[in-house]
Structure 1
Amino acid sequence: MKTIRETNGRLRYLPIGYKLMLSYLIFIIILVSVNGYVSHSMYDASMRKQTRGNLQGTLLQIRDNVAYKTDDMVRISSTLYDESTFVRSLKAEVFGKENNTRMEQVILPKLESATKSIGINLRLSIYTRNETINERYYTYKNNNDYSGGQTYNIYHLSRIENKGWYKRLPKEEYGITMVWKQVEEDNGSGRISMIRRIVDLSDPVDVQEMGLMRFSVPLRELFDSVDYRKLGEGAMLLVRDQSGQLIFSSGELPVFGGIPDRSPSKYADMERKDFEQSYLKIEERMIQQNWTITAYVPLTIIKQEAEKVRAFIIGVCVVCFILFSFAGVFISRYFSKRITKFVSVLNAFREGDLHKRMTYRGRDEFSQIATALNGMGEDIEALIHKVYLTQLQKKEAELEMLQTQINPHFLYNTLSSINRLAKFGENAKLQEMVVNLGKFYRLTLNSGKTLIPIHSEIEQSNAYLDIQKVKYGHRLEVTYDIDPEIWKYETMKLILQPFIENALKHAWSGDRIHIRIVARREGDVIRYRIIDDGMGMRQERLNEIMVDADESETGYGIRNIHQRIRLQYGDQYGVSLYSRLGIGTSVTICIPARKRKLFL
């Protein structure tokens, strides 16, 4: 087999296998060169792993100590959150003596008990929507005034309703929603608050917000166990929230660039590569609070031992980088130009542009692929065009066939009624029936259009019912429940009248019948419902109606409409039936909500 040279001895092309082999050799050289770097990395990783194992337990204990205090606060808040007597007291609007009794016997004792249930300086603030409850609060001399130990305050919710932190509270989930955040005076006083709503669950359908609980504690007391000295000198502990915002820190960062920076932005240095190489980073998550406790431990000893190896590895990496860069640029340009052409043509095919072709000079595998790709595009374009025309013709033929299969007995029955009215000389009813019959067929034909405005379909059904009212008189009662919003949408024609006709044929129970016609838009769907109070059907009868037409002749008209809708709109639309014997039948017709065109 000729692979490299033609018969005349000229170089044919270098096969792609040789190209890949050359690339492979280049990578082998690189891998050998960086073997020392890998060895150093493994040594460094093992030292970090050993150190991490010793420190992970300490950090886990610190996390558990913080979690114990936060869980205590959650438990205290739950005693108010789940206390129905307390919630009812906040909800009740009473005045005078009753209000004083409520405050002294229910609300204040509950708040007093909650504030003294934890051994830290706790400020409990209750914001109530009920303004019949008197406000009661402490006035602190300064932000750090903790006199009085645990305190509680009562405010009206109107004080904070327009504040950003209140508006940004997440949607309430029973027993779950709570937020840890620094709000109000917290930033200035070195505190943090646990915020939780008070809700009224007396009506499960309409859960109402009665107010807000805010438990404010000093950061120093909450995070007293977060002490860098537990990890060793030079270490640092940081507590961050889910957005990365710093909540608390212990320990001092080293100076970068020779100038110490004590502002919060100094923590950006922790993302620097030289910082990561100088410190071991360990993290523990507090799931309930969505906090992260991060420990940075200096690796001075490891760094000193690895300096010599690192200097050697840096030299090797620089050389490898230069060699790899030149080789990578050459190989990338060689293949990318060719592959890009194929990708552009394939993307054009995927987007439906089958006219795009590519030209390729050369006699290697790429030229063969280009020739095959161009031929494939031509073949697919011809095939799609052929299949599209065939399917379009088939769909039009099926729609036309189903349209012509609508039950013609209506015209025969109406003409019989006209004949009977003429025979008995009831000229007024005769004239009314003829006018309604003409109106019905004018709307039915509709210049041969399949899609018509919804109001035309309703009007056509109404014309049919007007004809039947002449026949049945007061025994036929019709009610319309139409949403005016649907007038701007279109529908297939003749999908309501056959079901109305079917009800008048088979649903009579006694000497009267009531038919209700409903039309609503529900999201992206238009739903029609034809409901009668007739004799109804058994489940076996419903199953028989909705089986395949080849298996049963029963319900042919229903299946006809069902097939027309699915053929026009897709399999997710169509007809469904519900019936109870002795109660009546409900027919639901589902079509997509599509706005009608102006020419309709």
Structure 2
Amino acid sequence: MSGFSKYIGGISIRNKIFIANILIIVVFISTQSYFANTISQKALIEKEINNSSRELVLIKNNLQTLIATIEDYSKILASDYRLQNVLYNDLLLNSEFNASRPVEGLNNLSMKKTLSETISNIVEPNTKIKAVSILTSNRHWVDVGFADNAYASRIFGDDYGADDRFYQPTWTSLIKFGFLYEGEHNVIAVSKSVIHKDTGKMVGRVFLYVKEATIASIYEGENKGGEFYIVDSAGRIISSQNKAMLYRDFKEAVSITIPENGKDTAFTQGSGKNEMLIFTQRFEPLKWTIVSVIPMDDISSDRKQINQLMIGIGAACLLLALIVSFLLSGSITRPIFQLAKTMREIRTGKMQVRSTYQSKDEIGYLSEGFNNLMNRIEALMAENVEKQRTKAEIEFKLLQSQVKPHFLYNTVETIISLIKLGLGKQAIQAAQYMANFYKISLSKGNDIISIGEEMRLTESYLEIQQLRYVEYMTYTMEIDNEILTYSIPKLTLQPIVENAIYHGLKLKKEKGIIRITGKRSGNNVEIEIYDNGAGMHNNQSKAIMAGFSALDEAGGFGIRSVSNRIQMLYGERYGLQVESEFGVYTKIKIVLPLRHH
């Protein structure tokens, strides 16, 4: 071994480079076929996995939006004062006190007209809801639309059951339901209890029907040779491009077993022409699974042509590299060693040392670039600090760009829904709150506003959200007048309040509260946002503030962006403090310096 090392050591660098290139060529040629087949196939599969995963995420998001919209309509309908009054009057007319005198109740033409006007605003063609049924407290199905009450009675029965006191909307699996004048359709129904707002009594239940074709339209435009399925928690196919597959057991119909670990997965099954690439995406709100099945032949059909191209290009590049390395190895090695010597001296701490090699070739440029790099280290360090500041500003602008269009869209949708339901006064209030929110948020381009203005902006946001989520939330604001004239970065509270609603209160079944308090503490202003929502584990809150969590996890992006912006403006002493107990509460304290606006 020592003799071989001595022999290698006696060979010139130029010859070493040439010999090494010959060995590389031999190894490359011997393994080229393997790489052309396996690596190209792996790259194609990985590309398809990435593309299909993004498609499934998009489908999941669109499905989430559809489900949330339908649930919002069920809540709006269940809270409509006209519907509640009609159902409550029917309850009183048919109570035990009047049992000896049966009353027509909802069969009264004026009542049917009122219900029909209320429901017509939220069914086709205004929305994606096919029809609506109402079950009264006296177990009567109301015929005010296209839904066949005989089907409703047979499928759902005439009793409420144990779940009818729940405030949350309840979804069924896929069912066949009859509609007047149109016959049967495959639908999924969502039901919502109607609780009288004054008495707290359950006066009825509304049922909204969504056609399976409406759900299938979400993913039908994404098909690129494969098949999409939506499977319920029992393993039944509830949506598919092939309608003949509906209601069948997924495992028996497609011969694919979905992993039961509840996680999103991508795996292959089968062999040869029957090999399939399968993706699953869990839709947790309804315990559904979105499945994409793509034949492997569709993915690797161009693999042979790609392999041939890779082989030709690789051979040409290697031959060219061999010729160039033989000609230039001698001229390259000397300046490289000289530059390496300079680098070793710098590693010992001699930062003033520079390369003395000068030439117009590539090594000369490398030497010159190395010297320039050393000269710019101090400048780059200062530039890096500025970039960190700019990054914090960009994060805030990104947060603003996400909040305003999203908030505007949701508010306009709420106003439209209120107008459709005849709640003109509430719609005007919502519009006024929205105008106030945007007036303050614009602030003539100023990023720093008074705490009083920030509180009015936040109050406008909360009032609109309370119109949308009246069953989820209420709020209080207790701010000392002393601090209202002090300054605060604009849109500091809104991302935190939004996080409290969507990641806190909405995850609990009962109604929750958001409490905002503000006071002076020495030379600081302390504003506290408390909610009794879902809370977080200790490691989650630490990860959010440390920046290790995913951007959309528990609202981490908004909280961290607000904290970074405050610290950028006022220093490390200020920012956000997160305190939370899982399942109990979350409390976020904002610490700011006393500065007049």
> TM over 0.5, yes or no?
no
Could you say which structure has the larger radius of gyration? 1
TM-score (norm 2): 0.33
